[in-house]
Amino acid sequence: MKKYGIPTAAYEVFDDMQKALDYIKDAPIPTVIKADGLALGKGVIIAQTREEAVEAVRSMMEDKVFGESGSHIVIEEFLTGPEVSVLSFTDGKTVVPMVSSMDHKRAGDNDTGLNTGGMGTVAPNPCYTPEIAEVCMREIFLPTINAMNAEGRTFKGCLYFGLMLTPNGPRVIEYNCRFGDPETQVVLPLLESDLLTIMQATANGTLGECEVKFADRHACCVIMASKGYPTKYDKGFAIDIPANVAESVYVAGAAIKDGSLVTSGGRVLGVTAVENTLEAAIDASYEKVKQIHFENAYYRNDIGARALAAGGK
Smallest gap from residue 14 Cβ to ligand GLY (A) = 28
Smallest gap from residue 173 Cβ to ligand GLY (A) = 10
Other CB atoms closer than 10 Å to residue 33's CB: what's the count? 27
| Footprint on this chain of ligand GLY (rule: CB under 6 A) | 103, 118, 176, 180-181, 183
Smallest gap from residue 163 Cβ to ligand GLY (A) = 12
User: Which lies closer to ligand GLY via its Cβ, residue 60 or residue 187?
Assistant: 187
User: Which lies closer to ligand GLY via its Cβ, residue 70 or residue 270?
Assistant: 270
**Closest residue to ligand GLY, Cβ-based?**
180
**Cβ atoms of 215 and 188 closer than 8 Å:** no
Other CB atoms closer than 10 Å to residue 97's CB: what's the count? 19
Smallest gap from residue 132 Cβ to ligand GLY (A) = 20
CA distances from 230 to 114, 160, 225, 242, 271 (A): 7, 23, 9, 27, 19
Distance CA 77, CA 27 (A): 8
User: Which lies closer to ligand GLY via its Cβ, residue 53 or residue 303?
Assistant: 303
Smallest gap from residue 85 Cβ to ligand GLY (A) = 7
- 22 Cβ neighbours under 8 A, 6+ residues apart: none
Smallest gap from residue 62 Cβ to ligand GLY (A) = 34
Smallest gap from residue 183 Cβ to ligand GLY (A) = 6
User: Which lies closer to ligand GLY via its Cβ, residue 118 or residue 270?
Assistant: 118
User: Which lies closer to ligand GLY via its Cβ, residue 91 or residue 181?
Assistant: 181
User: Which lies closer to ligand GLY via its Cβ, residue 70 or residue 120?
Assistant: 120
- Strand 157-166 with 249-251, pairing: unpaired
Q: Assign residue 106 a region: left if phi > 0, alpha if psi is -120 to 50, beta otherwise?
A: beta
User: Which lies closer to ligand GLY via its Cβ, residue 91 or residue 183?
Assistant: 183
